[in-house]
Structure 1
Amino acid sequence: MCGPIAALAQTAPAPAPADERAVVEADIIVTARRSDERLQDVPVSVQVVTGDKLSQLAITSADELSKLAPGLTLVNDAASTQVSLRGVSWRPGSGTPATPIYFNEVPFDPGNTVVSLFDIGQIEVLRGPQGTSRGAPSISGAVTIATKKPNLTEFGGYVQGFYASANHLDLQAAINVPIIKDILAIRLATNIENSEANRVYSVNSTIKPSIKDRSFRGTVLFTPTDTVSILGMYQRRTTDKLFYNQVVGTGSPGAAASPVAFLGALGAIPANFNGPALTIGQRASVQDAPSIFKEKIDLLTVNASWEVFGQKLSYNFGRQFNRGPATFTTSDPLNMIPGFESYTSPSNIGLPEFSTHEIRLSSMPDADRPFDYDIGWFSKHSQGTLNFNAPVYLAGAFGGPTSLPGAVRTPNPAYVLNSSTNIGIGQVFDSFYGDVKFHLSPKTELTGGLAIVRDRVPVSLAITTFPALNNIGNLNVVRLGFPAAYQPLVTSCAVVGAFSGANIVASTAYPGTCDAVVPAGVGNATQNNNDKYTAALYNFSLSHKFTDDILAYATTGSSFRTGLPAISNPGLPTNLVTPAPETAKSYEVGIKTSWGRRLQVNASVFQLDYKNQLTTFEGVQYFNTVSSRVALTSLAFYRNVDSQVRGFELEINAQPIRNLTLNATLAYSQIKSKGALVPSNPGDCAGAAAVTAANPINFCPSVAGQVLNQDAPFSATTSGNYNIPLTNALDGYLRFNVAYKGNNPNYGNFRQAGAFRSTPAYAIVDLYAGLTGGHSAWSLGVYAKNVFDKQAELARVTPVNNVYGPYAIAPAGYDQVRTTLPRELGVTLRYAFGSK
């Protein structure tokens, strides 16, 4: 489908008068099928967002693309990064991306492309199977991002920026320089952005959240002949981010005095020791310090082509360099250790490798040939080792058995079990693919494609633990664990050790108590996977133009995707570590229509049938055999569920009166289980009991027909632009964008008390007004995003206190949530000259 189009694609002609734009918009050129085609002539569901549109709506983050493309969700949030399309979601740790994000025709790691947007030529949201035309398999679709190319003939550039509430500052600039006219040109662009991150502030810290993002890009275009083109781009992005995890709830209710607590006598724990009652609207955290996220990413792309003997030979290369230092991720978002923030510290060992190669041979257009073809080879190699330093705070780390939360704020290092986890992750992926388009008649086309994919995913895990002490309480409490006949004999910690067979000594830190000696290597573990897969994919499409203004099409295709082992979930049963590969089949019919010069209506309906769909189950309790505690599964814990997705998309582009353009886009996709057993929490179903070493994880039935959507099934956007001629050289404008999310009946599989939690529908309204002059050479405007300050939940999880065992008798009282950004008011300014 064509998308909200208030500006032209980079390859389209110069802007036309307002009353003619409806026609010009239909002539936007897209590369959905790897060749230049009119948007309305492509038998594929496509949505286009131009760089001009991003500028007009003050969009600088990929997160906000979902405001323009219903059914697409992009979340840039470190480990919680998410890409969803047609109801199918991908997050880091799930393996091959379900929806690849292409940056200048290179499918980089989505976490490094779902970031800042600047100097963009065009973004295309492609819906439906992509495995036989782009190398990287995908059943739900793909997103392509193309940066602006150098202009070979005209000098030019622009500078633009905005300043908004919460100290949100964004500055962009670009300059285009033809070095040798028609042969060599260079384009330099930069983006500088500061903000207060997610605007979640901690009640226990004066440090404000912040993001400082700096991006620089250089692009060179070299066309030595009419048949040879080489485009090279190098981009560096550095990000410094401080942020907090938002929580909601009453805070801890505390706990009564316990004569025999988890590890010894412990006094009464007061209510709200970890923080006050907090609501969604307060946008608050209880952390004592923020997470510290630093990133330095370099991207290199090369796109070369050579037209020879009526064929076009293309080569696309991509290289990603992750040069960022260690980050510090808070591991106590519930503040169960008041006054001290615990961290895990992931870092790269060496420079990770990520590179892609693609070679394609395509036929050039020929009116006398009844078919066109593409054949190609795509390869992706990635390899790197990630190190996690994750300390475990044993009893005694924050005082003796009677120490209450917050009494001791500096851990005793003798009672800290330090561990070092090295995770080696790699992928060797190759795809051999081809498409043939048969022109059965001037108005009918049949396309068939086939791909053979080979995927190898080598993964290794090595956990090394170091010695520590674990305080087991005072001698009187210890005696309670022995038969009465032996209790009179228990006169020292050494005797306790002799009876128990453990290495127990008298504590020097806490006189009158005993310490269990935890030797080095007690939690050591290794894991090695080298899974290899091969699959054949297909795609067929039949389209017919009933008239020049009505195109109908039908497509079917298949896909294959491997999943990674659940490497960040130590202590899982071995049979739950690696999910099976996912396969899927797609069926779609659609129609594209133009009604006169002022109206376009496009629609499609689709169905996806999944076998072993990779589905994340974050926040499920399991027994961690490394720490011997109850833990929660992370985003990297995936299981397989057979499911079916059904949905539709509808888009209307209209120009009802002169100078006014309107767009409305609707998307619906609902995922339903075909029946399975899925990981669950205690109490979610009959038989789901407390997690113990004997019952390491629970499973509950997912009945056939159960909705599995992680995002709202229904979403819609509507936008409009009204130009107001003031003088021959000055225009005014009014714009709006409304993004609507429908009700999500099961809130992304989040349960409370065994029942799914539903979230209500909501809408985000953005408004814009301003002036443009000098044939759009400059513009000055104001805007309000989220005008009504709607605070809606987007994600929720209930963590357990696995940070410090002695305080586990007191419930945390909080859920961790992610919400929409609050209202933002800003002013924008742009000036462009020459080729812009």
Structure 2
Amino acid sequence: MEEREMRRFNRVITAALCSTVCSVMLMPAAFAQTAEAEEDSGNEPIIVTATLRAMDVQDIPLAVTAVAPEALERQGINDIKNLAAISPSFNIQSSQTETQGTSIKIRGVGTTGNNTGLESSVGVFIDGVYQSRPGVALGDLVDLERLEILRGPQGTLFGRNTSAGALNVTTKRPSLSTTEGFVNASYGNYNFMNLQAGVSVPVVQDVAGLRMSGTWRKRDGYLKTPSGVESNDRDRYMLRGQLYVEPNADVSIRLLADYAKTDEQCCQAVIVRETELAPFSALHGLASDGVDQSGSSALNNLSINAKNYLNGSKQWGVSGELKWDLGGAKLTYIGSYRKFDSSSTTTGGFTGNDTYTVGNGATTSRPGILPSGDHIKTMTQELRIQGTAFNDKLDWLIGGFYGDEDITADQTMTLNADFQKTNSAFNFANLAGSNPLLAFTRAGNGGVAVDANGNYAENRFLQNAKSWSVFTHNVLSITEKLSLTLGARYVKEEKEASFSQLGATTGAGSSACQATTNAVLAGQVPSALQGGAILLNCFPFAVSTNLTAPAALGGGLASRLLPLPRAWSDTFKDDEITYTAQVGYKANEDLLLYAGYSHGFKSGGFNLDPMSAVLQNSAAVLAGLQTGTVVAPVYAEPDFKSEKVNQIEIGAKATLFGSIKANLALFDMKMSDFQVLEFTGVQFLTFNVNSARSTGAELELFGKLSDNISANVSATYANSRYPGNCADGVVAAALPSTRRLCGSSLTNAPKFAGVVGLTYEGQVSDSGWGLLVNGNINYSDRRRTSTIPLDVNTAGTVTAPVPLDYQDAYFKMNARIGLTTPDEQFTFEIWGTNLSNEITRGITANTPLRGGFGTRSRIGFVEEPRMYGMTVRAKF
């Protein structure tokens, strides 16, 4: 289909969906007059397990959003990446890879990550099992019982790394008495295809049941180069099996196993701003500047420049749950093991130039070179005992948790034919001749030019993390209306990590970095260009740790004189007591008032980056050699400190007019040692900021307006920011970055976000056919999309706002129309998401190796454009 015809078709589909939704929303009474009234009143309790107890969400003194599977289906939410369409407090973004570069935020607070050493501030739990990284939890949401978004610190009950919140997902259990199943099939634009199916069968009537479910999803990429190379596609599947046994009324056993695989082209970015240095490309020997599509036109047309970016993963896991009523108490045990393997290959650095390859896809790569990726093995054990005392006045719970995680992170990079030319053109321009970096290498190798093409390094990081904790959580009913909740957890974390290399290019005859190193140490490179020569020609991800210094300077490793990668091994230990206290006052059956204080904790760890332990005082060390003075080397520490948070929350939960739930929460979160990851263009720099803060309010309104019409309104105001003194006490190496954060808002933290939805469910006249019409509008205020808002010149003295940091405010609309047969076995739906086709950026960053202060090229990682299609559902 030609582009003009496709655009016309998009407009027709959008108009049809919008007009139908609007007409039904404006004339609900006409349908209501002929439709049968539903039996429920809209005031049934919504049962959640946010306190590890089955309770009505309106009786829990916590801010919890409970999402039913039907709500996920109506909004077209296939995985957790789209949950912001339901909860405005929730935000999730991905950068270059989804398996490594995914970050979850709640109330504007979260850890921006493209570094396996960082753990999420928002914990994800599936059937009670902790998922150690967001990338591990990105599987499709299918066959669910419920999904809960817990906002604010949850460390007392949900254990590890929930300083900002938790996502608690529960899948459906097998039925012990009846056979049931479902099949959903969807097709949409970008050749979207999705098949979901599940079946539950009782194996022994009323004693044992088996449930199998799975999903397969495939879609073309919505980003494309002029030559047709696509990115951001979907190609994944997942299978899950469960056995549930109730041998008697006191014991239940649940065994689960799952397997998932992805094989996708992800994640490219649009060059939203091109550098002014592009004209220098020909001067430095490049046949092309590598960028044909850039700026607002590229963004609107979803046009990219680079070759395939590949991202795949395989994972499987098993878990078991035992529940045993001991009479005076109930015991719960959950044990799990999960193995996750990912790989990624990227070429070109978001441009069409042949600059470098991350992974094992380069034509110049050594045969058998390893792919880049993570290999994570996680084992968890949790035991809880809970019961009541004092005539049920006290509901008590005690428990213990142990987790053991092994990570092998491989980072492989090969420098390609255009690497040095690109460095020269876009980082030195015409400051030192037509090709200064090649001149450096020539000077350091007896006048013989050395090309970086083919230079490589296979970097390997190993980390073992052990975590154990004991906890208690108790609810004391002081009176029939007044309750007090007290909880605490002691957490101990131990991590051992190391960095080494499996292989790398060495020797002046083959390594451009070795030649440049020799030239710099020999004083053959102008002082103004020495730092750039080392930083760019010794690209950290593709440099050997075994580079040597000249014999005249004492020989040994060059990393003792220059800021170059060096092998390291280190240990991290920390412990903390997290706690929570809430007072709840149930004024009447329809009103709960509460206030609480919580202290949360997220473990520190190690920056798994080759430059995380480099020499910090190179200039002083070299100056000392020239004067004969011994200057002790100072190396950066590869670890970072644990993050802590204190939160005050005051709220009210009410039921209005018999069926409308109204929940309000006011919160103030204060973080200390807030963990930040910055990509400088050549390395990932991880550091702790002294403080960060998020203050705001959340409002949720949902329920039935009539027998057939329901509505939901959610709004979040969050002033998430770095205070003006956020750099106090920060280590010297992180000061230049931290000072540029102080006074700014947190990344991807809009001050205001909201969701408004309306749903009609009824019958079409007297035909018996059911009609579903759903519309949802999602709003986000403008938000920052870069890690650091200010750019700095090479001297570190001039700062200016980074280009295109802010994503402007926007509205996005989803809609769905469905017809269900009178026997309720089949449903036919048409749907659309982001119907207005708002093209928005989730993350914006500097294009690697392309421009400096005042001339930076910028890339934007684009969120999904308009999607539409049809779905057929069948159940039995």
TM range (shorter): 0.7 to 0.9
Q: Could you say which residue in structure 1 is the equivalent of 2:233? A: 210
Q: Is 2:334 the partner of 1:305?
A: no
Q: Could you say which residue in structure 2 is the equivalent of 1:284? A: 303
Q: Could you say which residue in structure 1 is the equivalent of 2:82? A: 64
Q: Which of 836, 840, 854 is the equivalent residue of 1:792?
A: 840
Q: Write out aligned runs for 1:89-128 (5 A).
A: 89-90=110-111, 91=113, 92-93=115-116, 95-109=118-132, 110-128=134-152
Q: Write out aligned runs for 1:332-731 (5 A).
A: 332-337=349-354, 343=359, 347=371, 352-363=376-387, 368-393=391-416, 415-463=453-501, 464-467=503-506, 469=510, 525-570=566-611, 572=614, 573=616, 574-575=635-636, 577-616=638-677, 618-620=678-680, 631-633=682-684, 637-676=686-725, 698-699=736-737, 701=739, 705-726=743-764, 727=766, 729-731=768-770
Q: Could you say which residue in structure 2 is the equivalent of 1:816? A: 859
Q: Is the 8 A contact 1:372 1:438 kept in 2?
A: yes
Query: In 2 relative to 1, CA 41–570 (structure 1 residues): closer, same or farther, beyond 3 Å?
Result: same
Summarize deviations over 1:799-823 as a string: whole Å, max 9, x none.
Answer: 3318xxxxx8999863111122111
Higher helix proportion: 2
Partner Cα distance (1:201, 1:385) in 2? 33
Q: Which of 66, 82, 86 is the equivalent residue of 2:107?
A: 86
Partner Cα distance (1:207, 1:591) in 2? 48
Partner Cα distance (1:51, 1:317) in 2? 26
Partner Cα distance (1:525, 1:301) in 2? 40
Shift of 1:770: 1.8
Partner Cα distance (2:161, 2:848) in 1? 37
Query: In 2 relative to 1, CA 595–397 (structure 1 residues): closer, same or farther, beyond 3 Å?
Result: closer
Q: Could you say which residue in structure 1 is the equivalent of 2:244? A: 221
Instruction: Indicate the SS of the match to 1:729.
Output: coil
Shift of 1:561: 1.6
Partner Cα distance (2:493, 2:358) in 1? 38
Aligned length: 736
Summarize deviations over 1:702-738 as a string: whole Å, max 9, x none.
Answer: 5865423432132111111112412352111211111
Q: Is the 8 A contact 2:459 2:610 kept in 1?
A: no
Shift of 1:699: 4.2
Summarize deviations over 1:769-796 as a string: whole Å, max 9, x none.
Answer: 1201235322101011111111122210
Counterpart residue type for residue 825 of structure 1: Y
Summarize deviations over 1:451-487 as a string: whole Å, max 9, x none.
Answer: 11100121111135322525789xxxxx99699xxxx
Query: In 2 relative to 1, CA 166–704 (structure 1 residues): closer, same or farther, beyond 3 Å?
Result: closer
Instruction: Indicate the SS of the match to 1:568.
Output: coil
Q: Write out aligned runs for 1:140-151 (5 A).
A: 140-151=164-175
Counterpart residue type for residue 252 of structure 2: S
Shift of 1:435: 1.4
Partner Cα distance (1:448, 1:815) in 2? 49
Q: Is 2:235 the partner of 1:192?
A: no
Query: In 2 relative to 1, CA 461–439 (structure 1 residues): closer, same or farther, beyond 3 Å?
Result: same
Query: In 2 relative to 1, CA 677–135 (structure 1 residues): closer, same or farther, beyond 3 Å?
Result: closer
Q: Could you say which residue in structure 1 is the equivalent of 2:259? A: 236
Query: In 2 relative to 1, CA 403–172 (structure 1 residues): closer, same or farther, beyond 3 Å?
Result: same
Q: Is the 8 A contact 2:726 2:742 kept in 1?
A: no
Shift of 1:620: 2.9
Partner Cα distance (2:810, 2:52) in 1? 37
Partner Cα distance (2:155, 2:559) in 1? 48
Partner Cα distance (2:601, 2:719) in 1? 20
Counterpart residue type for residue 110 of structure 2: S
Instruction: Indicate the SS of the match to 1:139.
Output: coil
Q: Is 2:42 the partner of 1:23?
A: yes
Q: Is 2:874 the partner of 1:831?
A: yes
Shift of 1:387: 2.1
Q: TM-score, normalised by structure 1?
A: 0.80
Q: Is the 8 A contact 2:109 2:746 kept in 1?
A: no
Q: Which runs of 5+ in 2 are unaligned?
A: 1-34, 361-368, 425-432, 438-448, 517-521, 527-547, 552-556, 617-634, 792-798
Counterpart residue type for residue 551 of structure 1: L
Query: In 2 relative to 1, CA 184–568 (structure 1 residues): closer, same or farther, beyond 3 Å?
Result: same
Q: Is 2:64 the partner of 1:54?
A: no
Q: Could you say which residue in structure 2 is the equivalent of 1:172? A: 196
Query: In 2 relative to 1, CA 74–277 (structure 1 residues): closer, same or farther, beyond 3 Å?
Result: closer
Partner Cα distance (1:225, 1:733) in 2? 41
Partner Cα distance (2:373, 2:751) in 1? 41
Query: In 2 relative to 1, CA 141–675 (structure 1 residues): closer, same or farther, beyond 3 Å?
Result: same
Counterpart residue type for residue 402 of structure 2: S
Shift of 1:656: 2.5
Q: Is the 8 A contact 2:118 2:607 kept in 1?
A: no
Higher strand proportion: 1
Q: Is the 8 A contact 1:242 1:293 kept in 2?
A: yes
Instruction: Indicate the SS of the match to 1:754.
Output: strand
Shift of 1:249: 4.0
Partner Cα distance (1:257, 1:548) in 2? 73
The answer to which of 366-375 and 156-165 deviates more is: 366-375
Counterpart residue type for residue 397 of structure 2: D
Q: Could you say which residue in structure 2 is the equivalent of 1:514? A: none
Shift of 1:558: 0.5
Instruction: Indicate the SS of the match to 1:132.
Output: helix
Q: Could you say which residue in structure 1 is the equivalent of 2:534? A: none
Shift of 1:272: 4.2
Q: Write out aligned runs for 1:27-42 (5 A).
A: 27-42=45-60
Shift of 1:99: 1.1
Partner Cα distance (1:256, 1:426) in 2? 48
Q: Is 2:801 the partner of 1:755?
A: yes
Partner Cα distance (1:395, 1:820) in 2? 30
Partner Cα distance (2:816, 2:611) in 1? 49
Q: TM-score, normalised by structure 2?
A: 0.77
Summarize deviations over 1:604-628 as a string: whole Å, max 9, x none.
Answer: 1011112211123x2335xxxxxxx
Shift of 1:346: 6.5
Shift of 1:212: 1.3
Partner Cα distance (1:422, 1:234) in 2? 30
What value does the CA root-mean-square deviation take over the aligned residues? 3.7
Partner Cα distance (1:709, 1:256) in 2? 33
Query: In 2 relative to 1, CA 767–346 (structure 1 residues): closer, same or farther, beyond 3 Å?
Result: farther
Query: In 2 relative to 1, CA 569–587 (structure 1 residues): closer, same or farther, beyond 3 Å?
Result: farther
Shift of 1:337: 2.9
Q: Which runs of 5+ in 1 are unaligned?
A: 1-15, 259-264, 406-410, 474-478, 484-499, 504-517, 622-630, 680-693, 803-807
